[in-house]
Amino acid sequence: MNERKIRVLVAKPGLDGHDRGAKVMAAALRDAGMEVIYTGLHQTPEKIAATAVQEDVDVVALSVLSGAHMTLFPRVVDLLHENGMADVLITGGGIIPAEDAETLRSRGVGRLFGPGTATTDAVEYIQTWYHDRGAGRSGE
């Protein structure tokens, strides 16, 4: 079986300096057979979108613990749309109240995962989304 690997960009936008969860998630995605690109800390939405375009990713997973999720997530969504990547799954996690998660969902963000969520939940979510949409951006 020569199926294309799911390409995931794990990003830490903003000034939040806590990246343990992002690194754990990146390792879990990699262990599940996905290609993972990790941006490191303190990335701007513009840099995240540019990296997503350059790496031709299927998924952008944002980790936001700073409380700036209502600014950062929509900005990344808008930039990806502007760059012809409206079909990319934008997901992620952090400390995001349910009401905010619902608002973000209405703006095009997928499921969000809070602290303590099993990594397998996020892995399964991404795999299901990928396979349900026809296995990737390139149609491989």
Largest Cα–Cα distance in the chain? 42
For residue range 69-125, what is the model confidence (pLDDT) as tens digits? 999 999 999 999 999 999 999 999 999 999 999 999 999 999 999 999 999 999 999
Neighbours of 9 (CB within 10 A): 26
Please tell me whether residue 114 adopts helix, strand or coil conformation.
Answer: coil
- The structure's pTM equals 0.93
| CATH architecture group of domain 7-132 | 3-Layer(aba) Sandwich (3.40)
- DSSP letters, 53-88, are HHHT-SEEEEEE-SS-HHHHHHHHHHHHHHTT-TTS
Contact 12, 43 (CB under 8 A): yes
